[in-house]
């Protein structure tokens, strides 16, 4: 009887360890995906400019991402998050090897949560401006510049995808960490 219950207890522990390790491996993969997403978002936005094929004597019509402060914030935020995600891979790798680690998981929860705030803030500030660029707004007479700057608008819209993807992944990472902590 004693032996039986010990084996059963060991089974529960190894099943828990197996779950924690599985979560750690998923965590590692998702961090890479999110890092690629933010990198693509930062590069797509940060290299966007368009010069229209016509000009008056004095004005050249040119749109660059850094004309708008929200887009600059978007690039800075996504670069920061990408850098953080790459660095966090070290801890994530440690969790695959040592699945019972709790303190380093807590550290990742704290940092992931702050980065989630940064990611949604950057993406949404940019999205609000992209919306105005596409549709304009009749009340304050803000024009829909996308009617002229087509390729500019396509790129800034596309770059939002990577950033929102990273935000969604960060939500999943925080939940994974919390579950892994609760199993130890």
Q: Is 109 in the site for its own copies (CB under 8 A)?
A: yes
From 5, 56, 57, 182, residue interacting with its own copies (rule: CB under 8 A): 182
Tell the smallest beta-carbon distance from residue 68 to its own copies (Å): 6
Q: Are 100 and 17 in contact (CB under 8 A)?
A: yes
Cβ distance to its own copies smaller for residue 7 or 16: 16
Rounded distance, CA 9 to CA 108, Å? 29
Cα-based torsion angle of the residue sequence 40, 44, 45, 47 in order, rounded to the nearest 10 degrees: 130
Please tell me the count of residues contacting its own copies according to CB under 8 A: 44
Three-class SS state of 123? helix
How far is the C-alpha of 116 from the C-alpha of 166, rounded, in Å? 8
According to CB under 8 A, which one of 39, 133, 156, 169 is a site residue for its own copies?
133
Binding of residue 98 to its own copies (CB under 8 A): no
Element (H, E) at 49: strand 49-55
Whole-number minimum distance, CB 172 to its own copies, in Å? 9
Give least dist CB 23 to its own copies, A.
13
Angle, helix 103-135 to helix 150-182, in steps of 10 degrees = 160
CA 93, 96, 98 angle in degrees (round to 5)?
Answer: 105
Paired tokens of 115: 């980065």
Residue 104 lies near its own copies (rule: CB under 8 A): no
Reading phi first (left if > 0) and then psi (alpha if -120 to 50, else beta), residue 143 is in beta
The 42-71 site mask, x for binding its own copies (CB under 8 A), equals ---------------------x---xxxx-
Minimum CB distance to its own copies smaller for 44 or for 167: 167
25 binds its own copies (CB under 8 A): no
Residues binding its own copies (CB under 8 A): 63, 67-70, 102, 105-106, 109-110, 113-114, 116-117, 120-129, 131-133, 137, 139-143, 145, 167, 171, 174-175, 177-179, 181-182, 184
């Amino acid at each position: 009887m004693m032996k039986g219950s010990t084996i059963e207890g060991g089974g529960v522990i190894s099943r828990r360890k197996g779950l924690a390790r599985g979560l750690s491996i998923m965590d590692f993969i998702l961090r890479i995906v999110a890092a690629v997403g933010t990198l693509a978002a930062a590069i797509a936005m940060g290299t966007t400019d368009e010069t229209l094929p016509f000009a008056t004597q004095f004005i050249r019509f040119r749109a660059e991402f850094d004309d708008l402060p929200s887009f600059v914030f978007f690039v800075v935020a996504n670069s920061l998050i990408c850098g953080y995600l790459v660095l966090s891979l070290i801890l994530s790798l440690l969790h695959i090897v040592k699945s019972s680690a709790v303190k380093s998981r807590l550290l990742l929860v704290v940092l992931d949560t702050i980065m989630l705030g940064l990611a949604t803030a950057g993406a949404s500030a940019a999205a609000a401006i992209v919306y105005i660029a596409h549709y304009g707004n009749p009340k304050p007479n803000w024009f829909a510049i996308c009617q002229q700057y087509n390729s500019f608008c396509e790129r800034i819209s596309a770059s939002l995808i990577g950033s929102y993807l990273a935000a969604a992944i960060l939500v999943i990472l925080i939940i994974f960490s919390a579950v892994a902590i609760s199993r130890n």
